[in-house]
Structure 1
Amino acid sequence: MGSSPGAWMMKELTVKEQIEMEFGPLWSGGDTVTVGDRIYTAIELKRALDLLADDVLGIDLQALPNGLFAFRFYDGDDRRIVVFVLDRELNIVRELRAHIAEWLEDEYYKSGIEAFLADRMVGMLRRKVKGENG
């Protein structure tokens, strides 16, 4: 009973909820983002950030206030959705990570070996987020 009145009504957000609240649903951002006088795609950002592994798959990009932007991607090495918030010089000023199972729930645990195949996981996630069957 050591909590303050009304504390029971306060719920700490999961990282997944925080990502969706701050940046919208996955794939709600764009395919490109303008940084200064340069337009970046997810592939160009992967290259610029030295994220060249095949299991790093871009999700979306978003311009943010104060010259910042967000790059969301799937990191298949640890099976997490990652958000990098970057400045104009491509310095990471903030990072959020949430396990893909937070989105896929039971589907993740039933996926077997596919859990280790980044393209399959991202496809499964995209279908779930977009409300598609399959």
Structure 2
Amino acid sequence: MTAPHHSSHATLNPAPEPPAVSAAMARAHRTYWRFNLVLIAALMALGFVVSFVLPLMAPALSQVRVGGFRLPFYFGAQGAILVYLALIVVYIVLMQQADRRLQRAFDADANERRQADASVPANERERGR
């Protein structure tokens, strides 16, 4: 009887190392994700206000009328849904802008790497391998 083999799959096939990232790209990624988290937190806070705070204030707002209806009724029937849709649209638009900024940073970084590679003579590139 033989002893069980204790080698794991991870040691036989280690995960590939991620490619090196320049400091500028690392900074661009940090900025992108920080913006994303702040945006999500702000939009969720607005959603919280719409979902919980405004209904709690409904008795105080019952004197205000919109289109002949009392504000709490109008807001409960239509306003909250419109606010949620607006939050989605705001998120989409702002994240598309953030995606474009990140893509520009990626393109600029790729151009810098290409220029740096082009400035190194071919025989030095072969020695570096």
Normalising by structure 2, report the TM-score.
0.26
Q: Which structure has the higher relative contact order (CA within 8 Å, separation 6+)?
A: 2
Normalising by structure 1, report the TM-score.
0.26
